[in-house]
Structures are given as C-alpha cells and as structure tokens.
C-alpha cells in the first residue's frame, strides 16, 4: 500500500520551511510520495488576492525539482475555483485507490480547524499530520471527543508508528523545526529587497526577482 501525503496551502511564496516539512515527513512517516497541493484560492483567505496560480505552481516546481519523491499536484488549480478540503480529499482517494493517504496541516490550521467547512467530517475521512511550529500552542479542547479519540500525539518520537487498518488517525508531530512564514516573506519582499534570503530557495528567489513579485 502506497503511503501518500498531501500538503495544502497557497504557498505564496513557497519557502524552505515548506520544503523541510516535505523532506522530513517523507522520512519520518516512510512516505512513498509527498505532494504540495496549491489552492487556486483558499476559501478562508477570501480577503486576500494571492499571486496568480501559474506563478505559485512555477515556484513550487522550481523548488522541488531535485526531490524525486516530492511533487506538485495541480488537482485544485485545474478546477479554477476555490475548493474546500472536505470535497478534495474524496477526489484524491479516488485518484489514488488502495493508497494510505495523509493530509498535512500546520499548527495554526489545526487551531483554526473549526472555521473549515464540515471540519469534523474532514478529520474523520483520512489520516492527518499536524506539524507543530514554534510560537503555536497545540491544544485539543476545541475539537469533539469523537475527534480526540483519533489523535495520536507522537511529539518526541524519532520515527512515526506504522498504524494499519482503515482508521483515520490524527498525528501530532514536532519532527519538523522551522521558523518562517509566507506572510513574513511577502512583507520582506514588498520593497523589492529580500533580507531573509536564507528562507527561500535560491532559484525561487531568482524567479521572484525576475517577475517582480510581491512589490
């Protein structure tokens, strides 16, 4: 059974923290493939106009060029509209029958999960990986008891346990350590001068400079 993870987001822009998540989780969970799943337009970010989808896809493709098992999915981009994760996951399950799927989210998304459409159904329909992040406390009091029963807190472990069966679990991991965000980088780039240059892959930074993004 293939083990495949999908990491959804706008990735505006993709940064080294995103790549570290992919590379670490591939090893930590023994994944066969890890897909970045860029949103055409995230429903919960309706108040902000993202960089055009084709440019975000281009930056992700550049960033992952040398990672053979880290890919970019155009599943949501191809539909050309805002999508809800609760609708996308069944489509991905149909696209990859027989695979064990994982949906990756950050600690901030976990703490805001009640704002997601049909969030409890979403947390039940596949495996989830919640990536802890500095400055974000992870709490479980905001979710239902039914959801809490599926949480597997594996913080401090060096490798994830290989749960089997059809149960959809929610893994809480601190295996990835990074301290940057796309929001900070957009603010940094707004004057055309990237000060946090170590946070963006070199070739992605060149693409941003060439097309004068975020100014």
Q: Which is higher by pLDDT, 177 or 73?
A: 73
Residues in the chain: 215
Residue 45 pLDDT > 80: no
pLDDT digits (tens, 9 = 90+) for 113-133: 999 999 999 999 999 999 998
**How is residue 111 written in tokens?**
């703490």
pLDDT of 135 over the 80 cut: no
> Mean pLDDT across the stretch 78-107?
94
Would you give the DSSP letter of residue 147? H
In the predicted model, what is the mean pLDDT of the chain?
91
Q: Could you count the other beta carbons within 10 Å of the beta carbon of residue 95?
A: 12
Range in 56-70, 134-148, 180-194 with the lowest mean pLDDT: 180-194
pTM of the model: 0.93
Query: Which residues in 132-150 are b (16+ Cβ under 10 Å) and which e?
Result: bbeeeebeeeebeeebeeb
pLDDT cut 90: percent of the chain above it: 76
Report, in angstroms and rounded to the nearest whole number, the Rg of the chain calculated over CA atoms: 17
| Per-residue model confidence (pLDDT) at position 110 | 95
23 pLDDT more than 90: yes
Check pLDDT > 90 for residue 32. yes
Q: Quick check: 85 pLDDT over 70?
A: yes
Superfamily of domain 3-176: HUPs (3.40.50.620)
Domain boundaries, the chain: 3-176
Mean pLDDT of 159-184: 84
Weakest mean pLDDT among 22-26, 39-43, 59-63: 39-43
What letter would DSSP give residue 205?
H
Of 77-86, 103-112, 153-162, 165-174, give the lowest mean pLDDT range: 165-174
């Amino acid at each position: 059974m293939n083990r495949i993870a999908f990491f959804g987001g706008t990735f505006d822009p993709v940064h080294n923290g995103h790549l570290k998540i992919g590379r670490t989780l591939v090893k930590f969970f023994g994944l066969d493939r890890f897909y970045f799943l860029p949103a055409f337009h995230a429903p919960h970010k309706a108040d902000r106009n993202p960089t055009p989808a084709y440019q975000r896809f281009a930056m992700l493709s550049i960033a992952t060029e040398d990672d053979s098992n880290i890919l970019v999915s155009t599943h949501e981009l191809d539909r050309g509209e805002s999508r809800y994760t609760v609708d996308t996951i069944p489509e991905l399950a149909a696209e990859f029958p027989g695979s064990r799927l994982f949906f990756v989210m950050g600690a901030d998304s976990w703490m805001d999960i009640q704002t997601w459409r049909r969030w409890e159904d979403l947390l039940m329909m596949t495996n989830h990986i919640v990536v802890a992040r500095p400055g974000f406390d992870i709490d479980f009091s905001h979710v239902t008891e039914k959801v809490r029963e599926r949480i597997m807190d594996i913080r401090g472990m060096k490798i994830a346990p290989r749960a089997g069966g059809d149960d959809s679990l929610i893994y809480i991991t601190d295996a990835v350590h990074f301290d940057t965000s796309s929001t900070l980088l957009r603010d940094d780039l707004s004057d055309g001068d990237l000060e946090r240059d170590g946070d963006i892959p070199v070739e992605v930074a060149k693409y941003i400079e060439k097309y004068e993004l975020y100014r």
